[in-house]
Amino acid sequence: MKFPKRNFPKVFIFLIDLLISLFALFIAFLVRFDFTFTDALLWEFSLIKYSILAYIVVKGGFLLLFKTHLGIVRHSSVPDYINVVKASFLSTLVFILLSIIRYYKIDGHYLFPISILVMEFVLSILFLMGFRAAIKLLYLESIKSDAKPANILIYGSGVSGLVTKRSIEKDIQLNINILGFIDDDKKRRNSLLEGIKIYHTSQLEQLLEENEISRVIVAIQKPDPNNRSFVVETCLKHNVEVQQVPSVKSWINGEFSTKQINKITIEDLLGRKPIVLSQDKIEEELKDKIILVTGAAGSIGSGLVRQIAGYQPKNIVLLDQAESPLYEIENDLKSDFPELKFETVIADITNQKRIENVFEHFKPEYIFHAAAYKHVPLMEDNPFEAYNTNIIGTKNIADVALQYGVKKFVMISTDKAVNPTNVMGATKRVAEIYTQYLNEKKATKFITTRFGNVLGSNGSVIPLFKKQIASGGPVKVTHPEITRFFMTIPEACQLVLEAGTMGNGGEIFVFDMGKSVKIIDLARKMIQLSGLTEGKDIEIKFTGLRPGEKLYEEVLSDKENTTATYHPQILIAKTRKTEEKTIQLLEEFFNLEREDNFIIVKKIKEIVPEYISNNSVYSKLDNHGN
């Protein structure tokens, strides 16, 4: 059956509703007299034949009043049904009132017997709703595709899973058959949710093997990371697409639409269990304080700003030399934190006079130092810039912090500072050594935090792979055995704040980075998640290790061990005490007269003896004989 493209005239719908109501009245009489045309029934008909006109006027009037004819019947919904009930209920009340008036004031007869009116009320609602439901059902059947529906599974049988199911069923453009739910709760196994069977997560592989399933939708709002990884890994193994339902806060006007279902990302796979923070301690530390964040426009700096904003600081000073990114975060903060007081400062941390002016004007009490050059190949080609920003820039900020009596100075370092093999990591290690030395002066607590690669940060491998995949490849991996630790931006920033709160000065905090990830596996998963096949749709190309690049990153050096803190994901690295000779080397290093790359790297190697260059022109400076 094909429905006309144009809707029926509204007057036609009104007349049908009126005829249905009259039919309901007629059936009510038949029910009252057991469907037998007796003399009593005929006598009742003779009494009410003049009442029919009143019925048409009253009933028709209320149908018009509640505009039951204006709704598109094929798309009838709850509001349309409510209007039908209102019109029927009020018209019945009027009929009862008119019946009582006629009985007591006119001729001793009811307009309609009360029992008839009660049955007419129920029947008219059923018939009017049934008419709309039948038309809607016929319409939905008429537009169904003749193609075989795609089988899907929904991961999660809670509220979000149920909402997903209903949204899919309501979307008439989808040709989908929901084969079942899968859930981590063993108690729900073999139960039915609105007629659809619930399977345990452990049954997923069997379901994929025995059925033609095109995709699995992750509908749990906060799934266990290990279980989610199992589900996604199993789906990728069987070439089944994985999608996910976004968080409730992103639903449009609080309602979920199937158009919001999107592909799961590699960041979702690498995420771990949520970090539990000492919120009260952090708030006690940061509330009503003036806080300076250097590198505030960068990935970690901007993430820190957003985290700090939630702890009601007195003022946040955002310092960076990148004009456009600083402008962007300024606009974001105005939108997301309208009550937040903050200042944006464009400044270069290598300009000591400018830094002194900033401290003199704002008088910060806490500093989170995230400004740095971080790209290994670029810094290998530009050692002076790495020296000038990562070492001299840090020295400027640290010295002025000490001068102005800043309470805490938290420096963001990197796992590449551990047994460094490149200029970037080595310069960060020198900065660590200097700030630890300043901590001995006791006026300011200098704290260092180390962690690995950050998912989604500017210039990191994941955005690069995404760009390469989008352009058709090849996806470039330096070495088949190279591995890296990964952490999300919120995770890293949360742990920095926690470490900064617990630090008493002089510590190097290292974070639990979880398991290291093979970059080749990362690339392959991203290709699969994009719906492509390696070797068929896109290639992976090995380009060789870049200058200064390690195969495996470390978080602690061989000469260091750790002690636990009250937070299970934060450890303290115990490092050797800075020797007097190292301090003398630092003082000489801070006063370089020439921008000679080899001189710079040679001096760094003297300060950081464990710095051995890898695949670099500076390898010749290493004493390989010892």
* Crossing angle of helices 352-362 and 394-403, rounded to 10°: 40
Question: Residue type for 573, please?
Answer: A
Which two structure tokens, joined as six digits, stand for 190? 């073999």
Strands 176-183, 196-200: pairing kind? parallel
Question: What is the phi/psi pair of residue 177, to 5°?
Answer: -115, 120
Could you list the beta-strand ranges (E) of 156-218.
176-183, 192-193, 196-200, 213-218
Rg, Å, the chain Cα set = 36
Is 374 strand, coil or helix?
coil
Pairing of strands 445-450, 241-244: unpaired
Tokens 């006007």 belong to residue? 253
Which single residue is written with the structure tokens 């009252």? 32
Rounded distance, CA 498 to CA 518, Å?
29
Which residues are part of the catalytic machinery? 416
CA torsion sign for 29, 31, 33, 34 is positive
The residue type found at 439 is: N
Residue 301: Cβ within 10 Å count: 27
CB atoms closer than 10 angstroms to residue 24? 21
- Residue 253's identity, in one-letter code, is N
Three-class SS of residue 209? helix
